[in-house]
A and B are shown apart, each in its own frame.
Chain A
Amino acid sequence: MKIDSWLLDILACPNCRGELKADEAADELVCTGTCKYAYPVRDDIPVLLVDQARTPA
């Protein structure tokens, strides 16, 4: 998973606008704000769609 850190710095969670951090092992961008949604990264392209997010258990 190749996500530039400057891109992560300017992105926000599309659901709650929280900051996103990369979870390299899971190939996900995870919201560190209130909702904790996890967005899949497929072929190095994050899918920042709320309806495709994995919600915390």
Chain B
Amino acid sequence: MSHQPHRHQNADEPGALIRGARLYELGAVVGFLGRRRRVYDDLVTLSGARPGDRILDVGCGTGYLTRRAARAVLPGGHATGIDPSAQVIAYATRRAPAGCTFQTAAAQAIPYPDGSFDVVISSLAVHHIPAADRPAALAEFHRVLRPGGRLLLADYRRRPRHLAAARLVGAAANHAHEHTPADELTGLVTQAGFGITETGTRRPSLQFVGARR
């Protein structure tokens, strides 16, 4: 798989869109080498989400992490997933369990008032956002979190190991997956005004940054 630039014609474009929801799901299952549930439940635990929390999953794609997050915040809480692809939001909405809703929206312009969430989580989404728009997206995560709210960002530390999975995900997402350097993630989080609480990696290819507003 070659390194192609993201296809962004102008600054208003929210980012690379996932068009093939089912193909993306298949690629994700293969790419995680059977570890997806364990890895994503681990991310939800790292986010500190508790029953009663309002949690936002940014760049939720087909909604897998949002659904796992909903389990952690029930009873009494609510999980919201946003993604700029209307197609994956339609897919996720059809599969939404209780306490879980989805909206077509961009990370750079989140359609919720200030302080709407206790936790913001985002996995494998930062690399979809045009680099120039990433600070604006982080500023939005900060804005929609309540004071003291928690952020957990996870992204690739390198491209998916299995070429077949990379091709599936790449074809569905209509762009090349490029890794996000660890220092870029921590830099973005710090510049947005967060205090970093934890960093680490998870197999097969994830890095994460935990922070508090």
Contacts and interface: CB of A to CB of B under 8 A. Distances in A.
A17 B105 CA distance: 13
Contacts of B110: 14
A38 B112 CA distance: 16
27 contacts: A7-B101, A10-B112, A11-B103, A12-B111, A12-B113, A13-B111, A14-B105, A14-B106, A14-B109, A14-B110, A14-B111, A15-B109, A17-B114, A45-B86, A45-B89, A45-B93, A47-B86, A47-B104, A48-B104, A48-B109, A48-B111, A49-B105, A49-B106, A49-B109, A50-B12, A50-B106, A50-B109
A46 B12 contact: no
Interface of B: 12-14, 84, 86, 89-90, 93, 101, 103-106, 109-114, 116
What is the size category of the interface that chain A forms with chain B? 10 to 19
B103 A49 contact: no
Interface in A28-54: 42-43, 45-51
| Closest CB pairs A-B (n = 4) | A14-B109, A51-B12, A48-B111, A14-B111
